[in-house]
Amino acid sequence: MVKSPEEEHPRKAFGWAAKDTSGVLSPFNFSRRTNGADDVTLKILYCGICHSDLHAVRNEWGNTIYPIVPGHEIIGAVTEVGTNVADFKVGDIAGVGCLVGACHTCESCESDLENYCPQPILTYNSVVPNGTITYGGYSDHIVVPRRYAVRVPEGLLLAAAAPLLCAGITVYSPMKHYGMTEPGRHLGVVGLGGLGHVAVKIGKAFGLKVTVISTSPAKEKEAIQGLGADAFLVSRDPEKMKDAANTMDYILDTVSAVHPLEPLVALLKLNGKLVMVGLPDKPLSINAFSLLFGRKAVGGSVIGGMKETQEMMDFCGKHNITADVELVSMDYVNTAMHRLAKADVKYRFVIDVANSLSN
């Protein structure tokens, strides 16, 4: 028998939601399911503000279901564990990223690639098979299956570790998959935002030479001195771009808006690979000639599976990698979104959820 929404979601929850395409967020009362046998419940401590949250609240991808509670860079304290969950206990710290479910029977799921399941359940804005909608981490608590919670290595600052749950895995996974990890090779990171600055840190930990390719000359000093990049290239300077042609083995493109790809492909050496992780709302174009002459490849990648997400967390624990964050209160979220739209953040806003969310 089909359950009523009240039966499916009997526990009260509170967060901030956007209610229309203005993307403006405001307080929102909703409800969540009770903790099931395979679930853990987290009291949310911190949640990063990913550019995907901004695309989603403004319906830039055309698939937003309002009201939407965004947030998929979640760190929380475990408050309940299901009877089948042996490896988390109340009081543990856990992370939740972009996924909270998948079919678990397809080839992707069976290969620990839940992120490529044809029926993924995203942390927010997904319709669950029972008809309810998922709500994300700009909220007081969340209930997720154990499979979708990861351990946060000891020693990482929790607020700064939150962005690893999306930005971290989104750049780590393609670097592993496309073999962008050979020490001494040259990686270009396009866009020095949330994803980009974590890519610089992970790239350096793999032993790569890293060049930031940016539209913002003002970010140069920090990119080199603060983040450890080896070089900085202003993508709007055609002379400098020309000088850098044929020098890079790999490029990771994190840009959130439509931008020309040809000048980036020109930076690649023979057999170079450009991997897209940014998700502009409109198509990008490429001339076949620029790929063929140089045997270059363009690929893509979306977040990562849960096993690899844990591997990435452990890698970041080992190398002491976290995001550079600006910690903000919940009621700053609309200003933060405006600033994010203008690339005015160094380099990730994180909401201090536990200390600033009041009902």
Would you count residue 219 as binding ligand NAP (CB under 6 A)? Answer: yes
Sequence letter at residue 52: S
Give the burial class of 268: count Cβ atoms within 10 A of its Cβ; 0-12 exposed, 13-18 middle, 19 or more buried. Answer: buried
Determine the Cα–Cα distance for residues 41 and 34; give it in Å rounded to an integer.
Answer: 9
55 binds, among Zn ion, ligand NAP, none (CB under 5 to 8 A by kind): ligand NAP
Pairing of strands 348-352, 325-328: parallel
Would you count residue 351 as binding ligand NAP (CB under 6 A)? Answer: no
DSSP state of 302: -
Asked whether 303 and 279 are in contact (CB, 8 A), the reply is no
Site string for ligand NAP, 249-278 (x = CB under 6 A): -----xxxx-x-----------------xx
87-106: which residues touch Zn ion (CB under 5 A)? 102-103, 106
Residue carrying structure tokens 């607020």? 159
Minimal CA–CA distance to 211: which of 195, 194, 193, 234?
Answer: 234
Stretch that binds ligand NAP, among 123-131, 177-185, 189-197, 288-296 (CB under 6 A): 189-197
Q: Rounded to the nearest whole angstrom, what is the least distance from the CB of residue 344 to ligand NAP in the complex? A: 9
Would you count residue 195 as binding ligand NAP (CB under 6 A)? Answer: yes
Would you count residue 279 as binding ligand NAP (CB under 6 A)? Answer: yes
Would you count residue 216 as binding ligand NAP (CB under 6 A)? Answer: yes
- Residue number, 166 or 212, with CB nearest to Zn ion: 166
- Residue number, 99 or 208, with CB nearest to ligand NAP: 99
Pairing of strands 209-214, 186-190: parallel
Q: Rounded to the nearest whole angstrom, what is the least distance from the CB of residue 248 to ligand NAP in the complex? A: 16
- Cβ neighbours of 88 (radius 10 Å): 19
- Residue number, 27 or 217, with CB nearest to ligand NAP: 217
- Residue number, 55 or 186, with CB nearest to ligand NAP: 55
117 binds, among ligand NAP, Zn ion, none (CB under 5 to 8 A by kind): Zn ion
Stretch that binds Zn ion, among 2-10, 164-172, 249-257, 341-349 (CB under 5 A): 164-172
Beta strands across the sheet bearing 248-253: 231-234, 209-214, 186-190, 248-253, 268-276, 297-300
- Nearest 10 degrees: CA dihedral of 79, 85, 89, 92? -80
Q: Rounded to the nearest whole angstrom, what is the least distance from the CB of residue 110 to Zn ion in the complex? A: 8
Would you count residue 177 as binding ligand NAP (CB under 6 A)? Answer: no
Q: Rounded to the nearest whole angstrom, what is the least distance from the CB of residue 261 to ligand NAP in the complex? A: 11
Determine the Cα–Cα distance for residues 256 and 196; give it in Å rounded to an integer.
Answer: 11
Q: Please state the separation of Cα 35 from the chain's center in Å.
A: 25
- Nearest 10 degrees: CA dihedral of 237, 242, 243, 247? 120
Site string for ligand NAP, 284-323 (x = CB under 6 A): -----------------xxx--------------------
Would you count residue 165 as binding Zn ion (CB under 5 A)? Answer: no
Q: Rounded to the nearest whole angstrom, what is the least distance from the CB of residue 236 to ligand NAP in the complex? A: 9
Residue carrying structure tokens 């270059």? 296
List residues near ligand NAP by CB under 6 A. 50-52, 55, 166, 170, 191-196, 214-216, 219, 254-257, 259, 277-279, 301-303, 340, 343
